[in-house]
Structure 1
Amino acid sequence: MPKFEYDGVRISYLDEGEGDPILLIHGFASNKHVNWKYPGWVDLLVKDGRRVIALDNRGHGESQKFYDPSAYGAPVMAEDARRLLDHLGIAQTDVMGYSMGARISAFLTLNHPKRVRRAVFSGLGYGMIAGVGDPEPIASALETDRIQDIVDRSGRAFRAFAEQTGSDRRALAACMRSSRQKISEEDVSRIERPVLVAVGTEDEIAGSPQKLAALIPHADVLEIPGRDHMVAVGDKVHKQGVLAFLNNVEA
């Protein structure tokens, strides 16, 4: 996979297809393959006539690992995404992020509105503003020697996912302790691009998609029936809804 580097930060990405670009930003403890390639998103969007770019966020996949929480944060990772667009010479793109990736996408849209044509915030609703819980149990679970010793249910789930994806658990723990910056209601209301908020109806992590969408002037909600946070990403309703949004919303 291609990589680019700036200021000592190495970012891995994929770049497939031709047409209008869309940038995909994965969730916590995932990577460009697990979040987007394996569930069929890349092939789906390429077949829809799009140029698909997906990066590994710092600390994840094949990108640079850091072990100090100050090296992370959604605004910092949004700048990685912006620099990738610069590297590829892309002036404006659609953006889709899942969970932590939705938060990163929101910061990218807020801080560089001319670079984003429209955005999909998946796997994250009002939790973008209210927060999604204490990060410490998950960070501690990632650092624990044995998964059998983890009591916290969410911590155990993320630890299992990190092991499944072959992630660097120390890097993820550092990321977890800094990546959940909240965005104020006032800031979210300044997003003027068309937005789709897509959340599973059984997602106990994301928060209300309706409550988030109500704050954004040009936002719609896509409910993904019967899906929780971990499985909604690859659901066919999710895919169909995103394609409809991308193909029918005028920028």
Structure 2
Amino acid sequence: MVKRGKTIFKSKIKWILALILLTGCIYGSYTLSRYTEADQVEAKQAQVILDAGHGGSDPGKIGLNNLLEKDINLAITKKVKKCLEKEKITAELTRKEDKGLVTTGDGSKKTEDMQARVKMINETKPVLTVSIHQNSYEDPEIHGAQVFYYSHSREGEAVAKILQESLQEIDPENHRQAKANETYYLLRRTKVPTVIVECGFLTNPEEAEKLSGEEYQEQVAEAVAKGIAKCLEYLNEYGN
């Protein structure tokens, strides 16, 4: 009887220990899932899409000394991403090399490329999208960075003004203001606050030379990244 009692006691102890272990696993799994979900939400709140305009067979604007807009766009965009990463802000690029988002097709490549960019943005659902471009004009005297937003987007207008102010810090002579637009496909079709940053004019000799150099590209990238950080603060506080 004593031996049998010991066996029953040991069996009960094993069941109790197993129950404690199972409870711990369930609680640990629940806690881990909560932290993981919190991390995912936090990452989503900080997420930015950086869109380097043009690419591949689409050079964009061709400036002085045959400067190609697509190359400058990508160079600055990559620098913006690095600046954001230093601030622990996650950013995703629509393109990472000299390619458009559509590599097959006929004369509608440009339209398909824009549709692919919009689709990526709308599916990713970032807090903010910033598309990097360069400008041009027939008058070589015209210069200065300018930010465009969709006319009917209150949030777009707010972040465009924040970015415009940030860019003016590196060029005090630039008196351009953030400007509303109703025709740009990217602005009309995206479901998140989206702005287009025209970093400067490739048709202005002085500005074109600066934009082609690493030093000024870094300055522009830092200004854009600084503006994005402020935009995220605004959107997290006042956005929908």
Name the TM-score, length of structure 2 as normaliser.
0.41
In our comparison, the structure showing a higher alpha carbon Rg is 2
More RCO (CA 8 Å, sep 6+): 2
User: TM-score, with normalisation over the residues of structure 1?
Assistant: 0.39
Structure number with higher helix proportion: 2
